[in-house]
A and B are shown apart, each in its own frame.
Chain A
Amino acid sequence: MKLKALSQVASLAVFSSLSISQVQAATITISCGAVGAEFELCQEGTKAWSKKSGHEVQLVSTPNSSTERLSLYQQILSAGAKDIDVFQIDVVWPGMLQNHLLDLKPYTNGNEEQHFPSLIKNNTVEGRLVAMPWFTDAGVLYYRKDLLEKYNQEIPITWSQLTEVATRIQASERAAGQEKMWGFVWQGRAYEGLTCDALEWIYSHNGGTIISATGKIDIYNEQSVQALNTARDWVGSISPKGVLNYAEEEARGVFQGGNAVFMRNWPYAWSLAQADNSLIKDKVGVTALPKGSSDGNHAGTLGGWQLAVSKYSAHADLAADLVMYLTSYTEQKRRAIKGSYNPTIDALYKDEEVLAKAPFFGDLYSSFVNGVPRPSTVTGKHYSRVSSAFFNATHNVLSGKASAKKALKKLEKKLKRIGKGAWTL
């Protein structure tokens, strides 16, 4: 009895796995987004391509956390597996994964010229274009229009202005009974997000980008120390102590609950803040992140995702064609209008239909096009180690475990050690 049932189950499973592999032979597998709206958008895009080309596309959802996603990709790619043809990869991964990725140059027909040059440069490793830009991201500053108006404050241009405005409004709001009000929330957990935030502070103070494009370590300098000290003073004053374990969603939770004046986040938070059940609907504005001082820069760290084709793909031509379709003008326009995903094609920032849907695309065009890249291309496969050393050092400063000067000195030493023979110094 039992055995029979078992063998039935087994034969069923064998049968189903057989049928899957038969279908796989004629399909392209793409990893894009997890579930939810991002997944749906991707599905609509691939369906359109299927119609055009006559080939099937199978979508696989991968973990939401980018670390988890990277580890899964590494397992699959390092085994030379054919299971995924098209990978959605983070802007800092081309250097790490390039060994496993196909050069897309022969397939572009020169279309890469339309995209932001910074991204194309980022995705070109050792002369090979290993990924096409799909959508971009850059850190931006969200503010509460209503509160700034109520207290008659200007939108801050420098970090010190932001500190001042945040302190004032936080104190007044608390005195008025809003006990949970905070001035500024951001991403302080010891993870990649902190690298992005801290890079913005440092770059906006003219403190460089940790490691220059030529591979020179440039982190132990006056401006960086000053930038980190500014941020350290926020913790416990205008930012809750818990900010040291906030990722994007925790920060948004506080801001969207109406409990913060300013928030540093990615553009995704815009459509959520404007959702119908949002407590802060129509009370929010978006602007560029402040400068370090009047002669500093507005800096938003470059984020976003690319599409790449696996070197081990059984249908590399088809996969590359799918990538070209998904990163094309029409498809990016559709995604911008429907999901407010930032296009990587310059012309779309002047497109009327796109601007009507997401007005801040136009206002923040320069933030997006001038996004500050993390030093991932130059450090290649060592980037994670560099980033980890950087955010751990920053986290130590923010939590008061070390002074900025000491921590950065130590970081410089550590980076030199990592960089020894790894990239040109």
Chain B
Amino acid sequence: MPEYSLSNQSEDGAMNDEDGSMSNIAAVAHHNRLTRQRIRSAWLFLAPILVLLALVAGWPLLRTIWFSFTDASFADLTVYSFIGFENYLSYEDGEWYGVLADQEWWGSVWNTLFFTVVSVSAELVLGTIVALTLNAKFPGRGLVRAAILIPWAIPTIVSAKMWGWMLHDQFGILNHMLQGIGLISEPLAWTANADLALWAVIMVDIWKTTPFMALLILASLQMLPSDCYEAAKVDGIHPVRVFFKVTVPLIMPAVMVAVTFRALDALRVFDLIYVLTSNSAETMSMSVYARQQLVSFQDVGMGSAASTLLFFMIALITIGYLCLGRRQMAGDN
């Protein structure tokens, strides 16, 4: 803003009489003072969250990164030494050591990425269907909307226990149902079988977070201008075509944000896998791996290295995704 008035002044400065330019300068000075005051209060207003975030997030993260370069152990946290990148990768006597040389770590990376991609895309598709359905007007819409929000409101630890109970191979209701309609002949061991367990986790995650996705999409659907649709209707364009040509591009930005937040969450998945599955190396996520190193193995160094890698991977994916999204949106414009 100040720059704007300054340039104004220089443009027609020659034509201004003494008086005008005087008041202009005074205005600029006043403006500058005001701006400075506002900037000062901006930092004042930001101070509480900056201090809070530094305490709850900044310092703990720096500490974790620091410990990832040491051989600290929970057995005695006061005694440790700096060992450089050994926790990440080191070579000794013809063998590679460290998190990056651990097959289990790469297995957990793969599991996490697989989980994220499959569950977030399924939630996207299902969420769109649910949103389109709820966007239609019908009696009792409010109630139905509230009903689909229930899974989201249930604490994760509770829903994981509930599903664990329903997925039980012997007295779980899901096997009972599937057997009842003849889809399977003998009960499936949902959470025991490593191949099924990841799918079971994905299913529960879809159940839990599709409402969130559906709501975001529904909200953006409701903000769409109705005239586009009426025009399309008059022109006799097929509804499916309308959906892909009109609706999808319009709701895209909102969907992108929803997908970003969901993906960030999914990459950090911990409690669902932890409570629901056997936590064998086959179904571990990156967070579960890090916690296992840290807590079960007491290896603060390795655990911190894994946590640090996890953090940087998420950051990288997010940055990449945001850049991609920005370019795409810029291209659309």
- Is there an interface contact between B170 and A253, defined as CB atoms closer than 8 Å? yes
Which residues of chain A have C-beta atoms less than 8 A from B191's C-beta? Answer: 242, 245
Question: Which residue of the partner chain, among A99, A245, A384, A401, contacts B76 with CB atoms under 8 Å?
Answer: A99
> Is B189 positioned at the interface, with any CB of A under 8 Å from its CB?
yes
- Is there an interface contact between B75 and A246, defined as CB atoms closer than 8 Å? no
Which residues of chain A have C-beta atoms less than 8 A from B277's C-beta? Answer: 245
- Is there an interface contact between A190 and B75, defined as CB atoms closer than 8 Å? no
> Is A250 positioned at the interface, with any CB of B under 8 Å from its CB?
yes
How far, in angstroms, from A99 to B171 measured CA to CA in the complex?
45
Q: Which segment, of A51-59, A67-75, A113-121, A272-280, faces chain B?
A: A67-75
> Is A328 positioned at the interface, with any CB of B under 8 Å from its CB?
no
- Is there an interface contact between B297 and A242, defined as CB atoms closer than 8 Å? no
Which residues of chain A have C-beta atoms less than 8 A from B299's C-beta? Answer: 385
Mark out the residues of chain B between 165 and 203 whose CB falls within 8 Å of any chain A CB in the assembled complex: 168-171, 187-194, 197
> Is A78 positioned at the interface, with any CB of B under 8 Å from its CB?
yes
> Is A392 positioned at the interface, with any CB of B under 8 Å from its CB?
yes
Given known contacts A190-B278, A190-B280, is B297 in contact with A384 (CB within 8 Å)? Answer: yes
Mark out the residues of chain B between 44 and 100 whose CB falls within 8 Å of any chain A CB in the assembled complex: 73-77, 95, 97
- Is there an interface contact between B187 and A240, defined as CB atoms closer than 8 Å? yes
- Is there an interface contact between A74 and B74, defined as CB atoms closer than 8 Å? yes
Closest B residue, CB atoms, query A395: B280
- Is there an interface contact between A70 and B169, defined as CB atoms closer than 8 Å? no
- Is there an interface contact between B74 and A67, defined as CB atoms closer than 8 Å? no
How far, in angstroms, from A189 to B297 measured CA to CA in the complex?
18
How far, in angstroms, from A97 to B277 measured CA to CA in the complex?
28
Given known contacts A401-B194, A417-B95, is B279 in contact with A191 (CB within 8 Å)? Answer: yes
- Is there an interface contact between B194 and A246, defined as CB atoms closer than 8 Å? no
- Is there an interface contact between B74 and A191, defined as CB atoms closer than 8 Å? no
How far, in angstroms, from A121 to B279 measured CA to CA in the complex?
32
Mark out the residues of chain B between 272 and 321 whose CB falls within 8 Å of any chain A CB in the assembled complex: 277-282, 292, 295-299
How far, in angstroms, from A97 to B197 measured CA to CA in the complex?
33
- Is there an interface contact between B296 and A384, defined as CB atoms closer than 8 Å? yes
- Is there an interface contact between B76 and A250, defined as CB atoms closer than 8 Å? no
Q: C-beta contact mask, A215-245 vs B, less than 8 Å → 1, else 0?
A: 0000000000000000000000000111111
Number of interface residues of A (CB under 8 A): 38
- Is there an interface contact between A241 and B73, defined as CB atoms closer than 8 Å? no
Residues of B contacting A: mostly: loop
How far, in angstroms, from A242 to B280 measured CA to CA in the complex?
14
Residues of A contacting B: mostly: helix
Given known contacts A190-B278, A191-B278, A242-B189, is B169 in contact with A71 (CB within 8 Å)? Answer: no
How far, in angstroms, from A26 to B199 measured CA to CA in the complex?
53
Closest B residue, CB atoms, query A386: B297
> Is A264 positioned at the interface, with any CB of B under 8 Å from its CB?
no
Which residues of chain B have C-beta atoms less than 8 A from A180's C-beta? Answer: 170
- Is there an interface contact between A244 and B75, defined as CB atoms closer than 8 Å? no
Most chain A beta carbons < 10 A, residue from B170, B190, B297:
B170
- Is there an interface contact between B170 and A242, defined as CB atoms closer than 8 Å? yes
Which residues of chain B have C-beta atoms less than 8 A from A403's C-beta? Answer: none
Which residues of chain B have C-beta atoms less than 8 A from A298's C-beta? Answer: none
A187 CB → nearest B CB, Å: 11
Chain B interface category by residue count: 20 to 34
Closest B residue, CB atoms, query A188: B192
How far, in angstroms, from A384 to B295 measured CA to CA in the complex?
9
- Is there an interface contact between A388 and B297, defined as CB atoms closer than 8 Å? yes
> Is A381 positioned at the interface, with any CB of B under 8 Å from its CB?
yes
B269 CB → nearest A CB, Å: 18
Given known contacts A71-B295, A96-B298, A191-B279, is B193 in contact with A241 (CB within 8 Å)? Answer: yes
Mark out the residues of chain B between 133 and 186 whose CB falls within 8 Å of any chain A CB in the assembled complex: 168-171
- Is there an interface contact between B296 and A67, defined as CB atoms closer than 8 Å? yes
- Is there an interface contact between B192 and A242, defined as CB atoms closer than 8 Å? yes
- Is there an interface contact between A250 and B168, defined as CB atoms closer than 8 Å? yes
> Is A165 positioned at the interface, with any CB of B under 8 Å from its CB?
no
Question: Which residue of the partner chain, among B97, B171, B278, contacts A395 with CB atoms under 8 Å?
Answer: B278
B188 CB → nearest A CB, Å: 8
A238 CB → nearest B CB, Å: 14
Most chain A beta carbons < 10 A, residue from B75, B97, B197:
B75
> Is A348 positioned at the interface, with any CB of B under 8 Å from its CB?
no
Q: C-beta contact mask, B10-47 vs A, less than 8 Å → 1, else 0?
A: 00000000000000000000000000000000000000
How far, in angstroms, from A349 to B169 measured CA to CA in the complex?
39
- Is there an interface contact between B171 and A257, defined as CB atoms closer than 8 Å? yes
Q: C-beta contact mask, B205-235 vs A, less than 8 Å → 1, else 0?
A: 0000000000000000000000000000000
How far, in angstroms, from A241 to B197 measured CA to CA in the complex?
13
Question: Which residue of the partner chain, among B190, B192, B281, B296, contacts A70 with CB atoms under 8 Å?
Answer: B296
Which residues of chain B have C-beta atoms less than 8 A from A97's C-beta? Answer: 75
Which residues of chain B have C-beta atoms less than 8 A from A399's C-beta? Answer: 193-194
- Is there an interface contact between A244 and B295, defined as CB atoms closer than 8 Å? no
Mark out the residues of chain A between 236 and 293 whose CB falls within 8 Å of any chain B CB in the assembled complex: 240-246, 250, 253-254, 257, 259
How far, in angstroms, from A388 to B284 measured CA to CA in the complex?
13
How far, in angstroms, from A139 to B298 measured CA to CA in the complex?
27
Which residues of chain A have C-beta atoms less than 8 A from B168's C-beta? Answer: 242, 250, 253
Closest B residue, CB atoms, query A79: B77
A424 CB → nearest B CB, Å: 18
Given known contacts A190-B281, A395-B280, is B170 in contact with A240 (CB within 8 Å)? Answer: yes
Which residues of chain B have C-beta atoms less than 8 A from A388's C-beta? Answer: 292, 296-297
Which residues of chain B have C-beta atoms less than 8 A from A189's C-beta? Answer: 192, 278-280
- Is there an interface contact between B298 and A381, defined as CB atoms closer than 8 Å? yes
Given known contacts A188-B192, A190-B281, A417-B95, is B171 in contact with A253 (CB within 8 Å)? Answer: yes
Closest A residue, CB atoms, query B76: A99
Closest B residue, CB atoms, query A73: B74
Closest A residue, CB atoms, query B283: A190
Which residues of chain B have C-beta atoms less than 8 A from A385's C-beta? Answer: 296-297, 299
A sample of 8 more A-B contacts (CB under 8 A), given A180-B170, A257-B171, is A67-B295, A99-B76, A190-B282, A242-B168, A245-B169, A253-B170, A253-B171, A391-B280
7 smallest beta-carbon distances between A and B, as pairs: A242-B169, A190-B280, A245-B192, A242-B189, A244-B192, A71-B295, A241-B189
Between-chain CB contacts (< 8 Å), 7 pairs: A67-B295, A189-B278, A245-B278, A250-B168, A253-B168, A385-B297, A399-B194
